[in-house]
Structure 1
């Protein structure tokens, strides 16, 4: 068997090692609860964030190497972070999942209603719940929030 010259052997090893270093980051799972934010550290500063489906999750840069992910609605999408040179530094399979603590789901026939029990159970908006009562609840909540913003001087009424 023919032996490689030491220079060629080192060159071959460097090429193989360089191939592994240049390959894009492997996708990792990132779970975020619905209507919750999660901080995620990156290996180096990100300049650009790309979300496959922004209706499922929102992402922003908190500081040079930390991002904040907000779960908007249930589902799965992906998140890619790029550095200033456009090189991929992170690739996540992003899953927005149900809140695991103090949540109760009531099923009446085909209809579903979700309650947050901390300590008293109150009905909460959940995209998987029956649509008719949810629409009225959203309208009431939006009106209440608008009145509070106007009273605080943050609404469009001032």
Structure 2
């Protein structure tokens, strides 16, 4: 009687292996952008490991939006009403691979060597400092970007 159960057990273990392999795939979202996430049926709770890296906004019982906030790796955990894990995936937030130009400069008097990053659309490119650039150059551009985000957050608080 134990022999007929053996193929069923092997099939069940293989199915679990395939399911865990599918769950092991990471989700990738570009920094400062969002991606639609289809929620598994029965979703009750959605948690992001480090909301400073990525965050999630649940739209309805079927959809959520994953937001890339900072470079790094975290995870998203989705459970049902009984606390069972429906999804546990790694989330990778990285820079975009398209519509971006990086200019590598040599050292000149008064200017450090290193990369300068630009975001481009059509014939126009705008300076977009990224981590890894020279501190002097990065600091010059960082304050306006941080200030812009702070002003936008402040406006959102005052205009619900």
Out of 28, 42, 66, the position equivalent to 1:69 is 66
1:136 CA drift (Å): 3.0
Structure with higher helix content: 2
Q: What is the rounded CA distance, in whole Å, between the counterparts of 2:33 and 2:136 in structure 1?
A: 25
Q: What is the rounded CA distance, in whole Å, between the counterparts of 1:59 and 1:116 in structure 2?
A: 25
Classify 1:85/1:56 alpha carbon distance in 2 versus 1 (closer, same or farther; 3 Å). Answer: same
Q: How many residues align?
A: 148
Name the residue aligned to 1:124.
Answer: 128
Name the residue aligned to 1:111.
Answer: 114
1:135 pairs with 2:153: no
**Which residues of structure 2 form unaligned runs of 5+?**
107-112
- TM superposition score normalised by structure 1: 0.70
- Structure with greater Cα Rg: 1
1:29 pairs with 2:33: no
Out of 46, 63, 81, the position equivalent to 1:84 is 81
Classify 1:54/1:143 alpha carbon distance in 2 versus 1 (closer, same or farther; 3 Å). Answer: closer
- TM superposition score normalised by structure 2: 0.69
**Which residues of structure 1 form unaligned runs of 5+?**
none
Q: What is the rounded CA distance, in whole Å, between the counterparts of 1:30 and 1:155 in structure 2?
A: 30
Name the residue aligned to 2:110.
Answer: none
1:131 CA drift (Å): 3.0
Name the residue aligned to 2:53.
Answer: 56
